[in-house]
Amino acid sequence: MKRAFFLCCFFLYLNTISLTPEKASPNFILVTIDTWRADYISASGSKKVKTPFLDKLAEEGIYLKYVDTPCPMTTPAHASILTGLYPKNHGIRDNRNFKLKDVVTLPELFKLKRYNTFAVVSGAPLSKKYGLNKGFDFYDDDDLEDKNNLQKILKGSLKSADQVTEKALGLIDKSQGNIFLWVHFYDPHYPYNPPAKFKEIYPEDYYAGEVAYVDAVLKAFFENLFKKNKERWIVIVAGDHGEDLGENGEDTHGILLYNTTRKVPFIYWDSEKKYKQLGTGAKNLIDIFPTLQELFELKKTNCDGISLFENTNRYMFAETFFPLCFAANSGFSAKKENLVFIKNGTSAEIYEDTFKEKGLNPSSEKIFYNEAQKEIDKYFNEKEDFTPTLKLTSEELKILSSLGYIGLSSNLEKITKCDLREMARDFSEYTKKGWEVLHNGDLNIILQEYNKLLKKYPYSPLLHCDKSDLLVKMMKYDEAYEECKVCTAMDPINSSAYFRLANLSAMKGKFKEAENYYLYSIKYDEKLSIAHLNLGMIYFEKLNNPAAALKHLKRFLELDPKHPKAKMAKDVMKDLESDSTIKK
């Protein structure tokens, strides 16, 4: 009887233990601020902008003044954060041509721990098509490609910081259980257009106004969050890349790998102030992944990063393939301890790796210079396979172009070997002349700039296409046609170039030729809605092919039902569908 009583008590004890919930794991928020320079936070000692809330997080938590990005472009840099891998290993090398490889992501690992995984992103380079939604229960990339709202595109951030936090709070309120949340703020990205209040505070530096605006929105977001949620929260705030702002001859980012675009701020904050000792050595955005694996006891997987709590003495690499969109050579860098080697195409430099870089004579650091060059040659292969793994539509490319992003040509057999520092200056000058034209309307100024650029970068299909558009505006249609022919010769699957040729042929009354070019355009971009519309109308009005007209007008409406010419297409289709010959 005593034995039975003992066993009964024992099992009751076990049941009590099993019914007692484990101590809740902390929630996690990843905040990425796009295009955030390392010296645009007042905690850095800089007086360029006031960021009181970010300063508070930095003071209470762990603040790293400088953390390196592996690529000064939005899509590859964020892919590195989410995978702990360099771009060559996760597969995304630019903002246009590549999709994430089948690699493990942070949200996948958090889901194994039964976390709810949410993301709210605000810029077109982070839309789902790149594969960055892998592992997220909900990935909000709404409104990133409103192709009918050019004003919204040119505003810069396609979702403002206020909209991002409103959506994020809504997700948290509806969630039960632990949360992994990624919020992305695109506001500091070019073109800079902060709210009126911040334009008044920073009338000479709208970029600073954008950063200050994000700081104010983050303050309101976290105050609102912590009023309702008293659990433990771990927060990481980081930039994805910086912005040169003309300091090294580049207005924005993407071409050069100096500290202005390669270094970003980093903050790690814990609501319960449970901090570990940071390891020594330089840190990188790829280190976020293994750090979170350690903090949250996530499943161990291979990555290129090293936990922030470990000591490091390694080479860190950065790359840019943005110059390839102009058929020019890429840029690479290798960094170890306090020295960085930068290969700017045909030139190479070494620097002391402080924010105010101090150039060094290669002879004074000959061992590092030669060693770093070998490391770059070993790690990067400029002749490796750059076959695109993602095909964007012409409309999607237009959106990226409006944000300053363009991608590779499909033909990289001919590459201009150049010094990227000179290239950055060339395109900066071109951009300035472009703004002049907006004010005085003299298109000849831009034409001269295109001719200058094409002398230096003759293998760029992009430049030939853009020059063609300019010539059309100048009503030089024959010259525009020839530029497009050059473009298709260089890039035989360039849908946009065939579309331009089709429009120019139609203007000349060569409708059979226009038909062929529209068909080529659709062959290489089946979702180019306007090509279906134009082709349908040519079949209807000029080539007497009502069945083909009906087919392409239907497809146009399927692809873009809200297009301004949708009603016209429906009226034509109504006439066609009433034709008894077509019915048969």
Last residue of a domain, one of 323, 354, 379: 379
What are the beta bridge partners of residue 267?
A: 63, 237
164 domain-assigned = yes
Tell me, yes or no, whether 320 lies in a domain.
Answer: no
Both 256 and 359 in one domain: the answer is: no
- Residue 507 falls inside a structural domain: no
Q: Among 140, 170, 173, which residue's Cα sits nearest to residue 158?
A: 140
Q: Do 211 and 277 fall within a single domain?
A: yes
**Same domain flag for 345 and 271:** no
Residue 32 CB burial class (10 angstroms; 0-12, 13-18, ≥19): buried
Would you state the torsion angle of the CA atoms of residues 497, 499, 500, 501, taken in this order, to the nearest 10 degrees? 90
Least confident of 231-240, 372-381, 417-426: 372-381
pLDDT in tens, 157-213: 578 999 999 999 999 999 989 999 999 999 999 889 999 999 999 999 999 999 999
Q: Does 35 share its domain with 180?
A: yes
User: What residue spans of 474-565 are helical by DSSP H?
Assistant: 477-490, 495-507, 511-524, 529-541, 546-559
Q: What is the DSSP letter of 510?
A: -
- Tokens, residue 365: 């650091």
Residue 99 lies in a domain: yes
In a domain, 109, yes or no: yes
Angstrom distance (rounded) from CA 536 to CA 546: 8
pLDDT tens sequence across 442-455: 888 888 888 988 99
Residue 188 CB neighbours (<10 A):
29
* Predicted local confidence at residue 355, as pLDDT: 62
Question: Both tokens of residue 413?
Answer: 């057999």
> Whats the size of the chain, residue-wise?
584
Please give the DSSP secondary-structure letter assigned to residue 520.
Answer: H
Which CATH number is 256's domain given? 3.40.720.10
227 shares its domain with 359 = no
Which of the four pLDDT bands, split at 50, 70 and 90, describes residue 391? low
Domain membership of residue 5 (yes or no) is no
- Are both 284 and 355 inside the same structural domain? no
Query: For 472-495, what is the mean pLDDT?
Result: 92
- Do 269 and 227 lie in one domain? The reply is yes
Q: What angle do CA 410, 387, 105 make, to 5 degrees?
A: 130
65 located within any domain? yes
Q: Does 555 reside within a domain?
A: no
Site of tokens 């924010």: 355
Q: How many Å from the N-terminal Cα to the C-terminal Cα in the chain?
A: 93
Of the residues 379, 397, 416, the one at which a domain ends: 379
Co-location of 305 and 372 in the same domain: no
Q: Do 187 and 303 belong to one domain? A: yes
d(CA 522, CA 531): 7
Domain boundary among the residues 263, 279, 312 is at 312
State the Cα–Cα distance between residues 260 and 356, nearest whole angstrom: 9
Same domain, 290 and 359: no
* CA separation for the pair 311, 295 (Å, rounded): 16
Question: Is 205 found in the same domain as 59?
Answer: yes
Q: How many domains in the chain?
A: 2
| Domain containing residue 360 | 331-379
Are residue 258 and residue 368 in the same domain, yes or no? no
